[in-house]
């Protein structure tokens, strides 16, 4: 026995017949990230979605509920109602700011979100107002090298959410060098390689965009069609519906 290695602990797993077939599973490679502790809860994977069906069946550590429209309490309520994971809710920054963002943030905190998220155009004054208004952490979205990140952190930002397209790892690397211990979330991109690139650049956690409902349906419908074809061919002597009907009518 190798005394230098600790024995792996047995990990029991419990599933249900319905959920097991419907789970939206985050890429396992995200577990390579260090994670971010928020109120003593370690988070490595953020599901970037506002689709309540996807959220209800996702295995991510947390939900990053941000969207391009102006934030609305009814959307936050719907997401918190279905999510079994902590929710980090968008409260504005682009179209919405100031007191409107503060109002939405108050509502989000009352609904039990673990944190709030502001978009990259958010004025520093709005971040200061949010910091005075709510107790939960504020996630600051950074989408380019041309932002006053220092000013936003000083105003009350607690976590950086880096979303700079294909150059996300480059921006993460720059911010990690500037802020060695500041928590950073980064968009993971389309595959395991881009996720690992963001992690190696210094991201503590990854936000992952799940497949759309249309993509999930396409995969499931393909399986259904194959099952239907096999069942029909087995019960009709290997003939297609067209051939079978032609024989019946002859």
CB-CB contact of 119 with 139 (8 Å): no
Give the Cα separation of 141 and 70 in Å (integer).
Answer: 16
The residue count of the chain comes to 250
Superfamily of domain 22-210: Phosphoenolpyruvate-binding domains (3.20.20.60)
Delimit the domains of the chain by residue range: 22-210, 215-249
- pLDDT for 215: 83
Chain mean position to CA 43: 11
Give the Cα separation of 183 and 64 in Å (integer).
Answer: 15
Give the Cα separation of 163 and 118 in Å (integer).
Answer: 12
What's the predicted TM-score (pTM) here? 0.86
Give the Cα separation of 99 and 125 in Å (integer).
Answer: 10
Give the Cα separation of 250 and 248 in Å (integer).
Answer: 6
Please list the rounded mean pLDDT of every run of 10 residues in the chain (250 residues): 70 79 91 97 97 95 94 96 97 85 95 96 94 96 96 98 97 98 97 98 97 82 80 71 63
- pLDDT for 95: 77
Give the Cα separation of 182 and 174 in Å (integer).
Answer: 12
Give the Cα separation of 112 and 122 in Å (integer).
Answer: 23
Show Cβ contacts of residue 246 under 8 Å, excluding neighbours closer than 6 positions. none
């Amino acid at each position: 026995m190798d005394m230098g290695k600790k024995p792996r602990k047995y990990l029991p797993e419990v599933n249900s017949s319905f959920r097991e077939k419907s789970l939206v599973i985050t890429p396992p490679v995200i577990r390579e990230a260090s994670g971010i502790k928020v109120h003593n809860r370690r988070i490595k994977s953020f599901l970037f979605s506002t689709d309540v069906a996807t959220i209800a069946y996702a295995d991510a550590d947390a939900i990053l509920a941000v969207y391009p429209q102006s934030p609305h309490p009814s959307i936050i309520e719907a997401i918190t109602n279905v999510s079994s994971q902590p929710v980090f809710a968008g409260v504005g920054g682009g179209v919405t700011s100031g007191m409107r963002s503060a109002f939405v943030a108050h509502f989000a905190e009352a609904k039990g979100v673990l944190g709030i998220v502001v978009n990259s155009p958010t004025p520093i004054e709005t971040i200061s107002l949010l910091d005075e208004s709510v107790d939960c952490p504020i996630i600051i979205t950074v989408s380019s090298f041309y932002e006053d990140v220092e000013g936003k952190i000083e105003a009350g930002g607690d976590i950086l959410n880096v979303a700079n397209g294909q150059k996300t790892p480059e921006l993460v690397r720059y911010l990690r060098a500037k802020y060695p211990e500041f928590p950073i979330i980064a968009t993971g991109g389309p595959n395991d390689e881009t996720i690992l690139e963001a992690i190696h650049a210094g991201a503590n956690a990854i936000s992952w965009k799940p497949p759309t409902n249309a993509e999930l349906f396409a995969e499931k419908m393909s399986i259904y069609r194959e099952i239907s074809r096999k069942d029909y061919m087995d019960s009709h002597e290997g003939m297609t519906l067209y051939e079978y009907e032609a024989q019946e009518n002859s």
